Structure 1
Amino acid sequence: MKHSIRVKLAVLIVTIMAVSIGAVILYSSFFVEKYYSATKQTSIKSVYYYLKDIIDKDENLEKSDNVRKLNNICERTGTTLILVDSNGNVLFDYGAGKILIERWRDMIFGQNIDEKAPHLIESGNNYKIQSATDRNSGTKYYELTSTLDNGYTVMVRMSVENFKETISITNNFYLWIGIATIAIATIIILLVTSRYTKPLLQLADISKKMSELDFNAKYTGHHNDELGVLGESMNDMSEKLERTISELKTANIELQKDIEKKEEVDEMRKEFISNVSHELKTPIALIQGYAEGLQEGIMDNPEDMNYYCDVIIDEANKMNKMVKNLLTLNQLEFGNSPVNMERFDIVSVINGVINSMKIKAEQKEINVLFEEKRQIYVWADEFQIEEVITNYLSNAINHVDENKLIKVEISEKNGIVRVSVFNSGKNIPDNELENIWVKFYKVDKARTRAYGGNGIGLSIVKAIMERHNKDYGVINHEDGVEFWFELDSKI
């Protein structure tokens, strides 16, 4: 990968190593030779000062311990040394004594070892250090000469290698070692860094999936360092994001439902106003017409006046009934009427409704049959179920034909009780079966108007049964129509 952190890290470390090795080579080329020369000068001076200190204590080097000390220091520093008294007698020498004696003689007689004059490097108190070349071996060396206070002459020689050649060899060595080290280090770095770059790549992949709202990918590493903390943080963030987005989606669904419900309510409100206006238009017109007739006195006959008053009262009663039904339906549809679940005898409720409608049935000479005598208990809201039965019976009475037969039956199966109300009469057209539950819908408008119906009763039944979450319906038979609903007999 062109932009892999693994490659970038390896390149960075290799670059640092290469720069470091280059810096070492440059330092060797420009500064090591000077450092080497300074070190040699320091070494040759330390031998000189050590010899001078011994001579101050033991002028003729009579103590063997002093001679042994001088030998040790000369051996350790690789120094050739000669000490000559004022008469030219050699009191002490170490190393190439004969060569130094010749060198001392050349100095006495003003001659040089080689063709080139020695190069003065440093001049101090009673000593000087020169750089010279041996005329026989060609070896370069530093030479310190001094005349002590007692007249003795000291000559100290220390070989100085051709350090430039040494530095060149060393630099080549560093270069090849550096190349080999960089190659090996690069391989090691790539292998070692993969342990850290792999989890980083995994975290990068997880973050990419999170940006695409895919929260299934999780960090599975086992690092106990910052990578592990980062991975756990990514997992926590993924879970929180997933939970938050889920909550947002839920809230969005609820909001959408609220919007749809508001739109439905608005539509229902418009429909309600339209239907109520339509339903009230006729009775209001009748009431207004008959009231104006009474006011103008167009009827002097008391019987006609009573008839006008009866029409006004009848139309007012119809409007009052419609308003009550609308209020009941409104409470059911908007959940303002709670469902109080209780156990009660459905047979007793049916008998009560039949008795309440007995006078109306007898007036129309309708035969209402209900032969169930035993108690049958169900779970529901007794008041609302009584309203369902009342609407079914009222609807049956209003639509019964000349046979004038209404049958109420109860059946029970697998813990489900079905109550059905049958009336002899004309079938409901198949294309109208779904619409009869819609409020203000009337299959036979003229007949509905005749008995004062407003198309709300079956809408109330639908609302009650849906609030109970139970089934209801209508069935066409050859000789009539059956309306039914079901309730639980067990919890």
Structure 2
Amino acid sequence: MKMPFKRSKLHHRIVGSIFLVVFGVVALCWILNSSLSERFYIHSKTAQIIDTYNTLSDVSVDGTLYSEDYYVAFENLCSGRNVSILVIASDGTVLLSSQSEASMIRNQLFNSLLGMKNNSKELASSEHYIVKRQVDAFSNQENIFLVGSLEDGNTILIRSAVDGIRDSVRVSNRFLLFVGLFGVLIAFVVSEIVAGPIADLEQKNASLQHDLVLREQSEKMRKEFLSNVSHELKTPIALIQGYAEGLNEGVSEDPESRAYYCEVILDEAHKMNQMVQQMLTLNQLEFGEEEFSMEHIDLISMIRSVNAVSKILLENEGITLNYVGPEELFVWADPFWVEQVYSNYLNNAIHHCEGEKRIEVVVIEDATSAKIQVFNTGKPIPEESIGRIWEKFYKVDKARTREYGGSGIGLSVVKAIMDGFGKPYGVKNHENGVCFWFELDK
């Protein structure tokens, strides 16, 4: 179900991108065509009319302009540059005209000379000519025309219509609109063609990135694990080696001393075995190799069973254990792993119990869940350590932890189990002690 969503999202992104590009190009061309085409045309046409004037003025000096031999060149000049030309003598006689437009051009010349039109704009001028842009009084047609005197003294009028360029701009804009619509259609077609392969590549790239992150995390965890294990095993191995070498070398022949040496070696071996078992358990939980079997179990029965196993240790430490809660309560949990959570909490409380030497186990229930609290009197956890006690191998009091054989893994096991359950857990400091807790569904 995810793939169509990704494809649709990518499809919209591609279409949107192409549409923006096409729209931007078309809009830019439209603006440039509407605002600059006419100006460029007027400028070019003015230069062309002036060049036409210079050409005719040069050939008027020796009379070539009026000869029959030059007439063909004159007609080609008019048609090629789309201009109308009229040359008249000082007495008004028409000396030269393009086709049969002599009267109309002459009327426009007279209008210009007599100032009958006021809405004209001068485009260029010299001592021999003036170029204007003006609306014809009779045809209402806008023209560019030049009025000037040739080298031979005769008057010349050159005219070119402006309406054509405006029609061309309108046609060009309509064509640009067509191109824009066609471009949007192409955008849809192209997006349909490329969206699928690109979506596949994005999905594979995301999967590859995820795999790389997992690999980096795995490698980091492996290095941290090896570093922590080597650090934790260094002390017990050194003690075992030292006492074993003492026994081997006969440092003490006293049976009591030899028994002590053996007791230290066995104790350190037991601590190492316990730590290795906890590390293996934690490794299975963190890598998802352990599946939970959720059952509706009697929580109170499990608590009483663990408390009974710890009775001798509690008596040896002079600790009073009180239970406050219901006599029976069923919750959903994996029987084995929830016992691990409670056992770790209780062992942690026993090893850190001070002052009044009191541990309270409190079970609070509501309609849907149960909260299990294990409180022990003693020193509160330093605030800077509260957030780190769930980390592997972290120890608030390293000397004390070493004394009772702790490895700093117990609470990490609790975290892994409760994260696997998907249920809340935590710790809270009190003035006279510390309370660890976790919750389960009923």
- Output the TM-score relative to the length of structure 1: 0.53
Aligned residue in 2 for 1:205: 184
Q: Is the counterpart of residue 457 in structure 1 residue 410 in structure 2?
A: yes
Q: Distance in 2 between matches of 1:449 and 1:403?
A: 23
Task: Give the alignment of 1:76-475 within 5 angstroms.
Answer: 201-208=180-187, 218=188, 234=189, 238-239=191-192, 241-475=194-428
Per-residue deviation, residues 114-150 of structure 1 (Å, max 9, x unmatched)? xxxxxxxxxxxxxxxxxxxxxxxxxxxxxxxxxxxxx
Q: How many residues align?
A: 278
Q: Distance in 1 between matches of 2:344 and 2:416?
A: 12
Deviates more, 1:466-475 or 1:314-323: 466-475
**Residue 364 of structure 1: CA displacement?**
1.2
**Residue 386 of structure 1: CA displacement?**
1.0
Q: 1:370 to 1:240 in 2, by over 3 A?
A: farther
Q: Is the counterpart of residue 483 in structure 1 residue 439 in structure 2?
A: no
Q: Distance in 1 between matches of 2:284 and 2:178?
A: 61
Q: 1:239 to 1:368 in 2, by over 3 A?
A: farther
Letter of the 1:437 partner, please give it: W
Q: Percent identical across equivalent pairs?
A: 50
Contact 2:418-2:424 within 8 A present in 1 as well: yes
Letter of the 1:360 partner, please give it: L
Per-residue deviation, residues 328-359 of structure 1 (Å, max 9, x unmatched)? 00000100011222221211221121122122
**Residue 239 of structure 1: CA displacement?**
5.0
**Residue 398 of structure 1: CA displacement?**
0.6
**Residue 256 of structure 1: CA displacement?**
2.0
Q: 1:480 to 1:255 in 2, by over 3 A?
A: same
Q: 1:349 to 1:253 in 2, by over 3 A?
A: farther
Q: 1:341 to 1:198 in 2, by over 3 A?
A: farther
Q: Distance in 1 between matches of 2:295 and 2:253?
A: 58
Runs of 4+ more than 3 Å apart: 1-4, 196-203, 237-251
Per-residue deviation, residues 254-295 of structure 1 (Å, max 9, x unmatched)? 322221221111111111111111111110010001001101
Per-residue deviation, residues 345-386 of structure 1 (Å, max 9, x unmatched)? 211221121122122112212111113343222222221111
Q: 1:239 to 1:407 in 2, by over 3 A?
A: farther
Letter of the 2:433 partner, please give it: G
Q: Distance in 2 between matches of 1:249 and 1:285?
A: 53
Per-residue deviation, residues 230-274 of structure 1 (Å, max 9, x unmatched)? xxxx2xx63574455444434333322221221111111111111
Q: Distance in 2 between matches of 1:383 and 1:203?
A: 69
Q: Distance in 1 between matches of 2:185 and 2:260?
A: 86
**Residue 463 of structure 1: CA displacement?**
0.8
Per-residue deviation, residues 294-352 of structure 1 (Å, max 9, x unmatched)? 01111111111000000000000000000000000000010001122222121122112
Q: Distance in 2 between matches of 1:356 and 1:199?
A: 87
Q: Distance in 2 between matches of 1:202 and 1:382?
A: 68
Q: 1:449 to 1:418 in 2, by over 3 A?
A: same
Letter of the 1:444 partner, please give it: D
Letter of the 2:403 partner, please give it: A
Letter of the 1:370 partner, please give it: Y
Letter of the 1:323 partner, please give it: V
SS of aligned partner of 2:324: coil
**Residue 395 of structure 1: CA displacement?**
0.5
Contact 2:324-2:363 within 8 A present in 1 as well: no
Letter of the 2:226 partner, please give it: I
SS of aligned partner of 2:389: helix
SS of aligned partner of 2:379: coil
SS of aligned partner of 1:435: coil
Q: Distance in 2 between matches of 1:455 and 1:306?
A: 29
Contact 2:324-2:360 within 8 A present in 1 as well: no
- Output the TM-score relative to the length of structure 2: 0.58
Unaligned runs of 5+ in 2: 1-25, 31-166
Deviates more, 1:247-256 or 1:296-305: 247-256
Letter of the 2:416 partner, please give it: A
Letter of the 2:181 partner, please give it: Q
Per-residue deviation, residues 181-209 of structure 1 (Å, max 9, x unmatched)? xxxxx99xx9xxx9x9978743522545x
Unaligned runs of 5+ in 1: 5-185, 209-217, 219-233
Per-residue deviation, residues 4-62 of structure 1 (Å, max 9, x unmatched)? 9xxxxxxxxxxxxxxxxxxxxxxxxxxxxxxxxxxxxxxxxxxxxxxxxxxxxxxxxxx
Q: 1:203 to 1:473 in 2, by over 3 A?
A: farther
Letter of the 2:309 partner, please give it: S
Aligned residue in 2 for 1:106: none
Q: 1:323 to 1:344 in 2, by over 3 A?
A: same
Aligned residue in 2 for 1:92: none
Q: 1:206 to 1:339 in 2, by over 3 A?
A: farther
Deviates more, 1:302-311 or 1:350-359: 350-359
Q: 1:376 to 1:244 in 2, by over 3 A?
A: farther
**Residue 3 of structure 1: CA displacement?**
11
Q: Which of 1 and 2 has greater Rg?
A: 1
**Residue 466 of structure 1: CA displacement?**
1.0
Letter of the 1:445 partner, please give it: K
Per-residue deviation, residues 52-94 of structure 1 (Å, max 9, x unmatched)? xxxxxxxxxxxxxxxxxxxxxxxxxxxxxxxxxxxxxxxxxxx
Contact 2:326-2:363 within 8 A present in 1 as well: no
